[in-house]
Chains A and B, each alone.
Chain A
């Protein structure tokens, strides 16, 4: 029906029989418009966020160009001179090379998500297939607990318990000597950060994966059992294969969470803008890093200082873009789920 005719028809239908009815209908329209306006306000908010962060970040990007993402000097020094207002000789005040930060972020995020993927898949399989009923009922509050612990508590445990333990027991003195001309090893490093980050993102992944595994039709599992395939093979070839889209969506969600984690990583990852070299062997796990979100958090006092402010907002812009892209990827990964009616 063409819009004009539809409107006329709707108007005709809406002709009320009484004044009270008319008032109610008008009120209804007002309510719809108000609610719609509120929803649009959210859109405006996001647009505002993107625009303002971009504007504030632009000077840093325009000065450094694409080299912003590359290596070149010590990030900590660059940030410090911005704070103190004494530019490095030969460079302007906005000089910044973020590669060590990017590498640190990449390292911790990818390692944590990879570990969490394996652990959470196995745990989800346990939860839905092998766990006795009592254990399953206990695991639900356990997962909820792990998801609810604030990041600062994770950070506290990390910095006061895990990092010292690693420092004492896993990093030998010879190892410290071998790199002390470059960096100090003190237990706040890639390994600690990855371990705690894995524990932080496990609950999301376990919950979503278990949900998807439980949704696999029982007839497939029974049919597979009736063909003489043992339970694990059935899970591997049928259940996990069916749950793949859900596990992918869970991974994306977990990656977004890992990227955005600032406080815990600020406390345990070492705070040194250092790019660990995998070729260092095992030592590379014990070298400090400085992920992007943690950098913003640590430098937050300098937000009002000119050059430092632009740089921090530039880092924020990078995080914002990554979060948006992950949102898109996550939306795409969830589409196959609709086939099985799984809601996440």
Chain B
């Protein structure tokens, strides 16, 4: 492809087919990946995991805030061993869908839901909400480490799970759990020296990895990531993306992202949402290279966003 070709004209009229230049494969795709580049490494590391099992099932879910329908009739599986990426323009409902998976939407007054969301076969409304949120943890867009030491941050949720009191901080089980979580988040080598340092002193990328470690310390079954890298620099982003690919083996991962290249790099399955509806869902190669719906084709080629 000619890199000097002008990018397609962006149009915001979403109620009719946009008139754009024919779609091109997005940069960083399989053809243009240079060997040894990060994306190539990710693509090659992303060999299918052996054991893929379904963790959560979203069935015909409608979500509303008051009278406003934000998510309309969406059905998706969430599988362990896979990364599911939710992509779409702003206002497409992907973040709301993500937050409904751990019932964070209930915090907003006037939120209501219809349809079924099940975790390991059990409707999540029937699970006690805090228990659910320990099994389905979430990492937010802005890193939000608590104003405590690194150890206390990571141990925060683990303490709740094991029931260990704060006084038994130095219990070997807790220390082992914290170290394990930090290793899985790829942060242990950098902070091993001083776990009592205040978490607020870490850099942005380290803070986000700390939040991931904190979420992992609760031994969740599903990890929800709400645009985790949007506030970070490219190097931290790359680190976290490698992390995500490694983690999918042990935890089902759902990631919401604005960044199409990121979705392409890390996701196994991609769900494209538009104005609350699920437009297309399938393996990432299929959605990006051979989308069946024209709206998907326009989005992934950058016609709107």
Which residue numbers of A lie inside 8 Å of B, CB to CB? 217, 219-220, 222-230, 233, 237-238, 241-242
User: What is the chain A residue whose CB lies nearest that of B156?
Assistant: A227
Interface hub of A226, A229, A241 (most chain B Cβ within 10 A): A226
For residue A230, which residues in chain B have a CB less than 8 angstroms away from its CB? 130
Expressed in whole angstroms, the Cα–Cα distance for A241 and B135 within the complex equals 26
Instruction: Among A219, A226, A229, point to the contact of B160 (Cβ < 8 A).
Output: A229
Residues of A within 8 A of B157 (CB): 227-229
CA distance A237 to B140 in the complex (A): 20
Q: A225-B107, A228-B160, A228-B218 are in contact. Are A220 and B147 (CB under 8 A)?
A: yes
Interface string of B94-135 (1 = CB under 8 A from A): 000000001010010000000000000000000000111111
Report if A220-B107 is in contact (Cβ < 8 Å); known contacts: A227-B157, A228-B160: no
B146: Cβ under 8 A from any A Cβ: yes
Shortest C-beta distance, A247 to chain B (Å), equals 15
Q: Residue on B with the closest CB to A242?
A: B147
Q: B269 to chain A: closest CB distance in Å?
A: 23
A227 touches B134 (CB 8 A): yes
Using Cβ atoms and an 8 Å threshold, which residues of chain A touch B160? 227-229, 233
- In the docked arrangement, what's the CA distance between A302 and B131, Å? 70
Q: Specify which of A217, A228, A237 lies most central, judged by the most chain B CB atoms within 10 Å of its CB.
A: A228
Contact of B144 among A220, A237, A241 (CB under 8 A): A220
Indicate if the CB atoms of B156 and A226 lie closer than 8 Å: no
Q: Which of B201-229 contact A (CB under 8 A)?
A: 211, 214-215, 218
CA distance A223 to B130 in the complex (A): 13
Of B137, B148, B160, chain A has the most CB atoms within 10 Å of the CB of: B160
**Contact in complex: A220, B146 (CB < 8 Å):** yes
CA distance A6 to B160 in the complex (A): 62
For the complex, what is the distance from the CA of A225 to the CA of B147, rounded to whole Å? Answer: 16
Q: Is the CB of B146 within 8 A of A223?
A: yes
A230 to B103, CA, bound (A): 13
Enumerate 20 A-B pairs (CB-CB under 8 Å) in ascending A order. A222-B140, A224-B146, A224-B156, A225-B107, A225-B133, A226-B102, A226-B137, A226-B138, A226-B140, A227-B134, A227-B160, A227-B218, A228-B130, A228-B134, A228-B157, A229-B156, A229-B157, A229-B160, A237-B156, A238-B146
What chain B residues lie within 8 Å of A220 (beta carbons)?
A: 144, 146-147
Tell me the minimal C-beta distance from B208 to chain A in angstroms: 12
Contacts A225-B133, A229-B130 hold; do A241 and B147 have CB atoms under 8 A apart? yes
The CA-CA distance from A217 to B144 in the complex, in Å, is 9
Contacts of B107 in A (CB 8 A): 222, 225
Contacts of B133 in A (CB 8 A): 225-228
Known contacts A224-B146, A227-B215, A219 near B140 by CB under 8 Å: yes
Q: What residues on B are CB-neighbors of A227 within 8 Å?
A: 133-134, 137-138, 156-157, 160, 214-215, 218
- A223 — which chain B residues lie within 8 A by C-beta? 140, 144, 146, 211
Interface residue ranges, B against A (CB under 8 Å): 102, 104, 107, 130-135, 137-138, 140, 142, 144, 146-148, 156-157, 160, 211, 214-215, 218
> Chain B interface mostly helix, strand, loop or mixed?
helix
Can you add 9 more A-B contacts, CB < 8 Å, to A224-B156, A228-B218?
A220-B144, A226-B104, A226-B137, A226-B140, A227-B157, A227-B214, A228-B133, A228-B137, A237-B156
Please give, as numbers and ranges, the residues of chain A lying within 8 Å of B104 by CB-CB distance. Answer: 222, 225-226
Q: Which residue of A is nearest B161, CB measured? A: A228
Q: Taking CB as reference atom, which chain B residue is nearest A238?
A: B146
User: Which chain A positions have C-beta within 8 A of B135?
Assistant: 228
Q: Which of A217, A222, A227 has most chain B Cβ within 10 Å?
A: A227
Q: Which residues of the other chain, B, contact A222 by a CB distance below 8 angstroms?
A: 104, 107, 140, 144
Expressed in whole angstroms, the Cα–Cα distance for A220 and B199 within the complex equals 13
The residue of chain B having its C-beta at the shortest distance from the C-beta of A133 within the complex is B109
The distance in angstroms between the C-alpha atoms of A233 and B134, with both chains bound, is 14
Name which residue of chain B comes closest to A231, CB basis: B130
CA distance A238 to B218 in the complex (A): 18
Q: How far is the CA of A237 from the CA of B131 in the complex (A)?
A: 18
B142 contacts which chain A residues (CB < 8 A)?
219
- CA of A189 to CA of B1, assembled, Å: 92
How far is it, in angstroms, between the C-alpha of A206 and the C-alpha of B19 when the chains are bound? Answer: 62
- B106 smallest CB distance to A (angstroms): 10
Q: Which residues of B contact A241 (CB under 8 A)?
A: 147-148
For B148, list chain A residues within 8 Å (CB).
241
Q: Are B147 and A228 in contact (CB under 8 A)?
A: no
Assembled-state Cα–Cα distance A121/B134 (Å): 28
Cα distance, A233 to B130, chains bound together (Å):
11
List the 10 closest pairs (A to B, CB-CB), nearest first.
A228-B134, A228-B133, A219-B144, A226-B138, A227-B157, A223-B144, A228-B130, A230-B130, A229-B160, A220-B146
Tell me the bound Cα distance from A225 to B256 in angstroms: 19
A63 CA to B140 CA in the complex, in Å? 70
Closest to B224 in A: A226
In angstroms, Cα B160 to Cα A237, docked, is 12
CA distance A241 to B152 in the complex (A): 13
Given contacts A220-B146, A237-B156, A238-B146, contact A228 B140 (CB under 8 A): no
Provide the bound-state CA to CA distance between A238 and B214, in Å.
15
Between B104, B131, B140, B146, the greatest number of chain A beta carbons within 10 A of the residue's beta carbon is seen for: B146
In Å, the complex CA distance between A169 and B156 comes to: 49
| Closest-CB distance, B89 to chain A (whole angstroms) | 24
* Residues of the A chain whose Cβ atoms lie less than 8 Å from the Cβ of B130: 228-230
The distance from the CB of A248 to the nearest CB of chain B, in whole angstroms, is 16
Query: What residues on B are CB-neighbors of A238 within 8 Å?
Result: 146-147
- Name which of B132, B147, B214 has the most chain A CB atoms within 10 A of its CB: B147
CB atoms of B131 and A228 under 8 A apart: yes
Task: Return B96 CB to nearest CB of chain A, in Å.
Answer: 15
Report Cα–Cα, A217/B211, bound state, in Å. Answer: 16
What's the Cα separation between A242 and B148 when bound, in Å? Answer: 10
A218 to chain B: closest residue by CB: B144
B132 nearest CB across to chain A (Å):
7
A230→B137 CA distance, assembly (Å) = 14
